Amino acid sequence: MSYSINLTVNDRSCKVTLDDPRVTLLDLLRERLQLSGTKKGCDRGQCGACTVLVDNRRINSCLTLAVTLDGASITTIEGLAREGELHPVQEAFLAHDGLQCGYCTPGQIMSAVGLIAEGQAGDDRERIREGMSGNLCRCSAYVGITEAVCDATRRMNAATDTERKSA
């Protein structure tokens, strides 16, 4: 038996047929949709390397069955940059050396985008560390990651304020 689902992935609609209902979103992205920017670390919900946004909420794609996502909108690391411009969180990771080997970085960045959208942490470093605690970094680049999230939060909030004032 096969299952068809409709998804929007990085603003593009696609229809996917699954032969096996056990296919995870992570494997669908990497192996069927050629979006290999999302990384497989532990494949069991412990490292956060596979973090993507589903309907603007961050999730571990290795724990999510693709078949449950009919109609969902998914954003991966490949969908963050716009018209050749990096997303402010991507820029901040570069500016603050928020990466070393880079393997955890797509997951860290997607988690940071989700955290900032949740508005829970602001630019409080302790709350950022707590909010990002599901994303492990074996290179221990945590200082740079925290600074990057802090800086991106400030820049994105300032941009939103400017937009509001000019509206």
Binding site for ligand FES (CB under 6 A): 40-43, 45-50, 60, 62, 99-105, 137-139, 141
Closest CB 70 distance from ligand FES, rounded Å: 21
Handedness of CA 64, 67, 72, 75 (dihedral sign): positive
Total Cβ atoms within 10 A of residue 26: 24
Instruction: Quote the distance between the C-alpha of residue 149 and its chain's center.
Output: 13
Q: Is the CB of 24 or the CB of 153 nearer to ligand FES? A: 24
Q: Is the CB of 135 or the CB of 153 nearer to ligand FES? A: 135
Q: Is the CB of 139 or the CB of 159 nearer to ligand FES? A: 139
Closest CB 45 distance from ligand FES, rounded Å: 5
Total Cβ atoms within 10 A of residue 12: 9
d(CA 131, CA 57): 13
Q: Is the CB of 48 or the CB of 79 nearer to ligand FES? A: 48
Closest CB 49 distance from ligand FES, rounded Å: 5
Residue 111: which H helix or E strand, with range? helix 105-118
